[in-house]
Amino acid sequence: MDKLKVAIIGTGRIGKRHAKHVKKLGKLKAICDIKKDLADKVSEEFNCSCYYSIDDLLEGEKDLDLVSICTPNGLHAEHSIKALEAGNNVLCEKPMAISVEDCEKMIHMAEQSNKRLFIVKQNRFNPPIQALKNAIDQGKLGNILNVHLSCFWNRNEDYYKSSDWKGSKDLDGGTLFTQFSHFIDLLYWLVGDIEDVCVFTDNFAHKDLIDFEDTGVVALRYRNGALGTINYTVNSYGHNMEGSITIFGEKGTVKVGGQYLNTLEYQNIEDYKIEIKEKSNPANDYGFYQGSMSNHDKVYENIIDVLQNGGQVKTNLIDGLKTVQIIEKIYKNTEKII
């Protein structure tokens, strides 16, 4: 069977990570970036064609199986729609977009073009999260009563100053979009949709660096009646501290924690014990900071299975939309406006 032929739009840190996985699992045909020096360097490193505009790439590469969108958040919709319209399957990095309206436009174009649109949700592949999902789906925790999400990371001055888009309202969108959208996705995946929110946010330590909050406290009521909280900040001193989800059910309590939801920290479940056999992948390492778990290999393996073997999509378009819908709802209900 022929290898999956892929082009990557955007060759920053996450684009290069995609390139490494494509090189192992498929065939990297081309990369594209408006920054010519960066594009040339990545093209040389991965021995593939190089373009400086998405239009030129879509015109020049006619036999692609997939276009991966790794550009800034605010460009995801525009670039995904262009690639779909040109007749390509698309993998879009998180978040799907920074507005529900843009997500709906992307879904419409995928349907109109009869092409697949995949959304990166790599934290779903974390072994402790998969084991917790399995336990919930089997009813081992009973009805979910209470859910707490903690996101305590560090994003310092160097992080924002080294980027020409992070911290920008138009291209970044907000701390929940860039730093913690994977965590919001897991709340939806594990517990369900959110009915009501009450929110307080502030920008304590990044007033001259970013256009939005660096800290938030959110109270939630889920559609199934459960209550919950989200406590998040990028002001953890010196380095990332914790990324955790704690779930209280009628028949058990579970906490998945560590810095990146990679450790089963606590479980007490009636007549059941969660067993984790697979080791978690390391976090994405970007030099002076780290990001979410590095499970992009599993994302690409699923895409290959879907496109070549008729397999089942692990993350569907509604999942991508729901994450953005929840974040948009949180921001629209913010009590303290920056």
The CA distance from 80 to 72, in Å, is 12
Cα(79)–Cα(69) distance, rounded to whole angstroms? 7
Say which residue, 104 or 289, is predicted with more confidence. Answer: 104
Flag whether pLDDT at 35 surpasses 60.
Answer: yes
Query: pTM for this one?
Result: 0.94
Mean pLDDT across the stretch 277-283? 65
SS3 296: helix
Structure tokens, 177: 């979009």
- Mean pLDDT throughout 198-202? 97
Please report which confidence band the pLDDT of residue 278 belongs to, taking 50, 70 and 90 as the band edges.
confident
Question: In the prediction, which pLDDT does 213 show?
Answer: 97
Residue with tokens 């939801």: 261
CATH topology for the 5-119 domain: Rossmann fold (3.40.50)
CA–CA dist 187, 174 (Å, integer): 18
Q: Answer whether residue 337 shows pLDDT above 70.
A: no
CA dihedral (195, 198, 96, 283) in degrees, to 10, reads -110
* 336 or 234, which is more confident: 234
The model's pLDDT over 67-101, given as tens digits with 9 standing for 90+, comes to 999 999 999 999 999 999 999 999 999 999 999 99
Q: Which band of pLDDT confidence, cut at 50, 70 and 90, is reported for residue 3?
A: very high
Would you state the pLDDT for residue 286?
47
Task: Give CA–CA dist 181/327, Å, rounded.
Answer: 8
The token pair at 189 is 């995946």
User: Measured between alpha carbons, how far is 149 from 194 in angstroms, rounded to an integer?
Assistant: 14
Hey, is 74 helix, strand or coil? helix
Length of the chain: 338
> In degrees rounded to 5, what are phi and psi of residue 331?
-65, -35
Higher pLDDT, 118 or 315: 118
Alpha helical stretches, state H, the chain: 13-25, 36-46, 54-60, 76-85, 100-113, 127-137, 157-161, 175-178, 181-191, 296-309, 317-332
Mean pLDDT for the chain overall:
94
pLDDT tens sequence across 104-146: 999 999 999 999 999 999 999 999 999 999 999 999 999 999 9
| Average pLDDT estimate for 178-197 | 97
Q: Could you tell me the pLDDT band of residue 277, with boundaries at 50, 70 and 90?
A: confident
CATH number for 124-292+317-332: choose from 3.40.50.2000, 3.30.565.10, 2.60.40.420, 3.30.360.10: 3.30.360.10
326 phi/psi in degrees, rounded to 5:
-70, -45
Which pLDDT score is estimated for 2? Answer: 87
Tokens read off for 162: 């080294």
Domain with CATH 3.40.50.720 in the chain: 5-119
222 burial via Cβ count (<10 Å: 0-12, 13-18, 19+) = buried
Furthest-apart CA pair in the chain: how many Å? 59
Locate CATH 3.30.360.10 in the chain: 124-292+317-332
Residue 235 has pLDDT above 80, yes or no: yes
What is the percent of the chain where pLDDT is above 70?
94
Q: What is the mean pLDDT of residues 243-248?
A: 97
Calculate mean pLDDT across residues 217-221.
Answer: 98
**pLDDT band, very low/low/confident/very high, at 289 (cuts 50, 70, 90):** very low
What number is the average pLDDT over the span 152-173?
A: 96
